[in-house]
A and B are shown apart, each in its own frame.
Chain A
Amino acid sequence: MTWNDVVFLLPEIIISIGASLLLIAPVVGWRDRQTSAKWSMLILLGITALTVIGCSYWVQGIPQSRSLAGMFALDGFAIFFKLIFITAIAMITLLSDDFLRESRYSVWEYYSLLGFALCGMMFMVSGMSLISIYIGLELMSLSSYILAGFFKNEEKSTEAAMKYFVLGAVSSGILLYGISLIYGVCGSLNLLDIGKALSTIITNDALMFGIMLLGAGLCFKIAAVPFHVWTPDVYEGAPTPITAFLSTASKAAAFSIFARIFYLALHDFQLDWGNVLATISALSMVLGNLAAITQDNVKRMLAYSSIAHAGYALLGIISLNSLGLRGVLIYTLVYVFANLGIWATVLMLRRHEYGGERVDDFEGLSRRAPFWAFAMVIFLLSLGGIPPTAGFIGKYFLFAAAIQAGFGWLAILAVLMSAVSMFYYLRLVVAMYLREGREADVAITGPLQIVAATCLIITLLLGIYPTPLIDQATESSRWIGARASIIPHAGR
């Protein structure tokens, strides 16, 4: 480990030391200091974000900087996602504040686990070797299993954690098996070496089996059909801020490595896995959207909608072109902020044990809190991909990528399904605006307002003027795009 390695890993080192300190805090007698826990966490995230930005200047001009014997990369792609993760975790910290205040559990442990999950995600997105990706993934997953069951006295939460853990562990095993098969064929775990090796070998069963298992493991993490069954139950059972974490940050992390692995290592075999992933994508969009229509529980509805969104994001990976790669980046960002905004609004309704979870609980929100009801409409329109919200830009990239790659049928299905998705998003709008009588029960607190307002600004601004985001995504994906022999249309 050289000095260089330390600099490269500095953000991860800081967050892991910080998370450990958070764990120690209750032992030294700060157990009940909830507010200081929140602020320590936010300061820690702030420092980490600054370090990431500092590192990005450090590596500026270098096409891709790798360390730890090529296992760890600090490229634009990684930095883009790291910043998304940190922002998302900061917002989840804000979302958790009031939620935890009402419970009897130690907030320090909670934030510490979030910190470790963040560390895992940040390490994973920089992974240039299947093994470092796997380590990061496991760090993230293990922390999320515990977080899902964090309210250990609540039956639903525990059940969710149990399901999540068992299925997650199996999928990790499958993933690892796939990795080992790929290693057996290619003789390397490094993504670039695998890519090089694959360009010279012809398809063989072991390799295809390995790729399939790897894909299956990753599809579990992004919750694509048919590996989605855990999602509704876990999303419903987990504490709402953790559901927000699972559906945004954790999912974004999974998308990022999906893109990195398939674009860097497996691009030569697109003809083999392209149609399989296309089928998975189609199934996710259809099943996710159709199942969401019948849900009365908002958390379950959003769980199914997140399954559908996994299907959309897969379009960007299948199409394997510049639009698709940038689409994954843009879509992830847009999706994360729209979703966090929705969760913030859902939490505003949370008064009683499971309040704000049913669609009916939104009734009359437009009278009780007109501004936040309006914000909610914008978030829902963004998820549905209606301009002028940012969601449209994200979907635009993915649909365009699919058409350019010749997946016309998939694009037609995708747009029709996004029209279908508006049906259930509108159910919430109907409840908020069009139903008379009831008054929604709200508890609007400062932190929730900060999150919702930030998400609203991002969603609207990037919808009306998306150029900065697109340019950033183009810049961030340049290195990977060049490796995957995609011609980026720079400057145009």
Chain B
Amino acid sequence: MGILNIVTYTPLLGAAVILFFIRSDNPKMIRYAATLFAAIDFIVSLFLWWGFDPKASGGQLFQFRFVRDWIPSLGVKYDFGIDGIALLLIVLTTFMGLIAVVSSFSAINFREKEYYVLLLLLQTGMIGTFCALDFFLFYVFWEVMLVPMYFIIGIWGGPRKLYAAIKFFLYTLAGSVLMLLSILALYFFNDGGIPFLHIKGLGNGYTFSVLQYHNIGHLIPPSLQFWIFLGFFFGFAIKVPMFPFHTWLPDAHTEAPTAGSIVLAAVLLKMGTYGFVRFALPILPAATRQLILPIVVLSIIGIIYGALVTLVQKDMKRLIAYSSVSHLGFVMLGMFALNPMGLKGSVIQMINHGISTGALFLLVGIIYERRHSREIADYGGLAKQMPMYATLFLIAALSSMGLPALNGFIGEFTILLGVANRNIWWAVFAAIGIVLGAAYLLWLYQRVFWGPLDNPANRTVRDLNRRELAMLVALSAVMVWIGIYPKPIFEVIEKPVEYVVRKVDPEYMNRPPMQYPEAVAEVEASK
């Protein structure tokens, strides 16, 4: 019984307990049970971090391995194991999962039983996805996530929930089935090849082992890599979402209930970026290097276009949703710098975005519960009425825009370093995105919290209660912690990032570290 199984299936157990042992007319009990299991899961995931060895590399990089036969006739194994990247994302998932459960106490007031069962089920799916080191298993968890999220948006969502839920489901499904074909192509290449297309296989036997695929990455002919990459790209880019596949995101975010938005922003979007880091980059190095430019261009368009669209939004939730497009553009840009600095920044920014944007969605959810409006125009001067709320909103906004001493700065700065190292012009575009990010968040803050308190409906709004305060303080504490002392995080991703870079760009690690004059010369040359 590996600890990863405990982390993965604790929420499932919670879902089963709620489903079978708690009556649906006892919502209080359901909430407590859900909180209990989410909390246990979070604590277990902290043990995971505690027992994790950040120095391990090579064969020991993936830790807590748990391998069993599942479908032997197809070579499918039940293979769990995590490296530092997956570890961080799992801790993020359990943490935000707990926040999501607690945030739903007052937001969800009908069909609670189904709701918490689905939320916990979703968490099992997400953690399983990060743990899986077998492609088949990964795919199963990947798809398992879809159904609970579909129901969460579709039942407890806003006015256009049906449209948003179906759009979310179909977009993601279309991407992931194409990914399935790519997985199959790898599967056949590893063994017998595809004789009819004159693709010779390696004859390594049937396996879905991701680590095995990591090892054969450089043997795959570039033309085949290109097609496989395309399948992965659709699967992951839709999930990220990269421009131009982002259109499902604003709808899903806006219509989802608060907890749905939190989970969606904090974890579900990271599935796409995680997929790139774990699968697309190390398995398909040639195709990755070949496609750097188109992907970087899409990322930069995502950053700038996302930020510009964010500027003009009138609905707070939609605004934050669009800001995700911009932020995830950063993550992708940093990743495709394909150097350790960029990748590290990219991974840290995944975590940061999860916390900051999760917090922002939570904040918008809190005000929506009180006022039933998300229109920015309905607010103004809230700082006088809700000082605590205003303060915590400010912290979350500043963290999201990358103010030094908060977490966003660490991520953005590292990404910029890595990107500038590859091409200074990419960094210039990214910097424009940061400026725009500051603009839309500060402008939002200004319109909502400052100015006269002229809407009478806002004069009676209560400030945060203890439960809300606890959640937001916890989130803010994490923001400050990462902003001031990010070393533990850098530590665990050091080796995994090095591993990925070695796979995707083997020559990079052999190059001598860039000296200052040389860097300047390169900048000069690129002009």
Contact = CB atoms under 8 A, between A and B. Distances in A.
Interface stretch (A121-129, A249-257, A340-348, A407-415): A407-415
Contacts of A465: 70
Contacts of A471: 73
B71 A419 contact: no
A444 interface: no
A404 interface: yes
10 contacts: A387-B140, A387-B143, A392-B143, A404-B194, A408-B181, A415-B180, A426-B150, A426-B169, A430-B154, A467-B71
B75 A434 contact: no
Given A418-B177, A492-B206, A405 B196 contact: yes
B143 A399 contact: no
Given A388-B140, A399-B184, A405-B196, A416 B174 contact: yes
A403 B181 contact: yes
Interface string A362-404: 0000000000000001000100001110001000100110011
Interface in B191-222: 192, 194-197, 205-206
B197 A408 contact: yes
A489 interface: yes
8 tightest A-B contacts by CB? A406-B196, A415-B177, A387-B140, A419-B174, A419-B173, A434-B154, A470-B73, A406-B197
Interface of A: 377, 381, 386-388, 392, 396, 399-400, 403-406, 408, 411-412, 415-416, 418-420, 422-423, 426, 430, 433-434, 465-467, 470-471, 474, 489, 492
Given A400-B187, A423-B170, A474 B73 contact: yes
A416 B177 contact: yes
Nearest to B205: A492
B155 A433 contact: yes
B151 A406 contact: no
Contact of B71 (A386, A418, A466): A466
Chain A binding surface, main DSSP class: helix
Contacts of B166: 423, 426, 430
A409 B173 CA distance: 18
Given A406-B195, A467-B71, A388 B144 contact: yes
B484 interface: no
Given A403-B181, A403-B188, 19 more contacts: A381-B147, A386-B146, A386-B173, A387-B144, A396-B180, A400-B188, A403-B185, A408-B181, A411-B181, A411-B184, A415-B178, A422-B170, A423-B170, A430-B154, A433-B151, A434-B154, A434-B162, A467-B72, A492-B73
Nearest to B197: A406
B71 A470 contact: yes
A409 to B, nearest CB: 11
A420 B177 CA distance: 11
B139 interface: yes
Contacts of B195: 406
Contacts of A492: 72-73, 75, 205-206
B278 interface: no
B165 interface: yes
A39 B397 CA distance: 71
A396 B140 CA distance: 11
A470 B144 contact: no
A151 to B, nearest CB: 36
A416 B143 CA distance: 15
Contacts of B169: 422, 426
B67 interface: no
Contacts of B196: 405-406
A377 B74 CA distance: 27
Contacts of A426: 150, 166, 169
A422 B173 contact: yes
A406 B206 contact: no
A473 to B, nearest CB: 9
Contacts, number: 89
A481 to B, nearest CB: 14
Nearest to B156: A434
A392 B165 CA distance: 22
B212 to A, nearest CB: 15
Nearest to A377: B147
B161 A434 contact: yes
Most buried by A among B72, B165, B196: B196
Contacts of B170: 419-420, 422-423
Contact of B194 (A387, A403, A466): A403
A416 B170 CA distance: 10
A399 B150 CA distance: 25
Nearest to A415: B177
A79 B15 CA distance: 41
Interface string B64-108: 000000111111000000000000000000000000000000000
A142 to B, nearest CB: 40
Contacts of A403: 181, 184-185, 188, 194
Contact of A412 (B70, B162, B181, B187): B181
Given A387-B140, A434-B165, A466-B71, A399 B181 contact: yes
B176 to A, nearest CB: 8
A434 B155 contact: yes
B391 to A, nearest CB: 38
Contacts of B144: 387-388
Contacts of A474: 73
Contact of A433 (B143, B154, B180): B154
Nearest to B199: A406
Contacts of A433: 151, 154-155
A433 B73 CA distance: 38
A489 B184 contact: no
A408 B151 CA distance: 33
Nearest to A367: B111
Contacts of B174: 416, 419
Nearest to B178: A415
Contacts of B180: 396, 399, 415
B162 A386 contact: no
Nearest to A323: B74
Contacts of A399: 180-181, 184
B215 to A, nearest CB: 20
Most buried by A among B74, B75, B194, B206: B74
Contacts of A422: 169-170, 173
Nearest to A491: B73
A387 B170 CA distance: 15
A377 B147 CA distance: 10
A408 B180 CA distance: 12
B73 A412 contact: no
A2 B196 CA distance: 46
Contacts of A396: 180
A471 B74 CA distance: 10
A386 B147 contact: yes
Given A412-B178, A422-B169, A434-B161, A489 B206 contact: yes
Contacts of B206: 489, 492
A420 B173 CA distance: 9
Contacts of B140: 387-388, 392
Contacts of B197: 406, 408
A109 B206 CA distance: 52
A192 B63 CA distance: 55
A405 B165 CA distance: 36
Most buried by B among A386, A423, A470, A471: A386
A183 B73 CA distance: 39
Nearest to A400: B184
Contact of A386 (B70, B74, B143, B194): B143
Contacts of B178: 412, 415-416
Contacts of B205: 492
Contacts of A412: 178, 181
Nearest to B198: A406
Contacts of B194: 403-404, 406
A348 B511 CA distance: 70
Nearest to A417: B177
A465 B192 CA distance: 26
A424 to B, nearest CB: 11
